C-alpha cells in the first residue's frame, strides 16, 4: 500500500516535470535562433525580425524590418500573392525546411531535423504575446487552432 502511494506520487511528479520539460526543451532549441532572433521583453530586430506574438502573426509584419522581397519566392512576394499567418502548420514546415516554404528567404538556416525540436520551440515561442509578455502557451495555441 505504501509502495502504491509512493508510485502514484512519482507518476504525478513525472507528469508535471514532462509539461515543464517541453518549455525548457524549447528554450534550449531557441539557442539556435538567438543569434538572429530576439523574443520577450524589449526584443529588438537583429539579423531577423523579433518573434513576439509570432503564433497568429501575419507574415512579414514587423515594421522597419527589411524582409526578402521583389522576386518570386521571397517572403513578401508570397504574402502579396496570398495573405498568410504564422500558425503551427506553416511554422512547423518553415522551421523544418525554410527554403521549402520560402524559396528565396533571407533566413540562412538549414532547418531543424528533429520533430520534437520543432514542436518544443513552437511551444516556447507561443508563450510570448505581441508585447513580449509571458502568457499561457496552451491558451495561445488553442485560440489559434479555433480560428483555423
68 or 127, CB closer to ligand HEC? 68
- Please name which of 138, 130, 117 lies closest in space to residue 31, comparing C-alpha atoms: 117
Euclidean distance between CA atoms 59 and 57, whole angstroms? 6
Task: Tell which one of 8, 35, 116, 139 touches ligand HEC (CB under 6 A).
Answer: 35
**Would you say 42 and 132 are in contact if contact means Cβ atoms under 8 Å apart?**
yes
**Would you say 26 and 120 are in contact if contact means Cβ atoms under 8 Å apart?**
yes
| Radius of gyration of the CA atoms of the chain, in A | 18
23 binds ligand HEC (CB under 6 A): no
Q: First-to-last CA distance in the chain?
A: 48
> Which cell goes with 61?
509584419
126 binds ligand HEC (CB under 6 A): no
| Length of the chain, in residues | 148
Task: Tell which one of 38, 78, 95, 141 touches ligand HEC (CB under 6 A).
Answer: 95
140 binds ligand HEC (CB under 6 A): no
137 binds ligand HEC (CB under 6 A): no
- Please name which of 111, 121, 122 lies closest in space to residue 144, comparing C-alpha atoms: 122
The residue count for binding ligand HEC (CB under 6 A) is: 28
Task: Tell which one of 38, 75, 78, 141 touches ligand HEC (CB under 6 A).
Answer: 75
Window of 3-11, 13-21, 99-107, 131-139 that interacts with ligand HEC by CB under 6 A: 99-107
By the criterion CB under 6 A, which residues form the site for ligand HEC? 32-33, 35-37, 47-49, 51, 54, 59-62, 67-68, 75, 86, 91, 95, 102, 105-109, 112, 121
Amino acid at each position: 500500500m505504501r509502495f502504491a502511494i509512493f508510485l502514484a506520487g512519482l507518476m504525478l511528479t513525472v507528469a508535471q516535470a514532462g509539461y515543464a520539460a517541453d518549455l525548457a526543451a524549447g528554450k534550449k532549441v531557441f539557442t539556435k535562433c538567438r543569434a538572429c532572433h530576439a523574443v520577450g521583453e524589449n526584443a529588438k530586430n537583429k539579423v531577423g525580425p523579433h518573434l513576439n506574438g509570432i503564433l497568429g502573426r501575419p507574415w512579414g509584419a514587423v515594421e522597419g524590418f527589411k524582409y526578402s522581397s521583389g522576386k518570386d519566392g521571397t517572403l513578401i512576394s508570397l504574402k502579396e500573392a496570398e495573405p498568410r499567418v504564422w500558425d503551427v502548420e506553416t511554422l512547423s514546415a518553415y522551421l523544418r525546411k525554410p527554403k521549402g516554404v520560402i524559396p528565396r528567404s533571407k533566413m540562412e538556416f538549414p532547418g531543424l531535423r528533429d520533430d520534437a525540436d520543432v514542436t518544443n520551440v513552437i511551444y516556447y515561442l507561443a508563450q510570448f504575446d505581441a508585447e513580449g509578455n509571458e502568457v499561457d502557451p496552451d491558451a495561445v495555441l488553442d485560440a489559434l487552432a479555433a480560428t483555423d
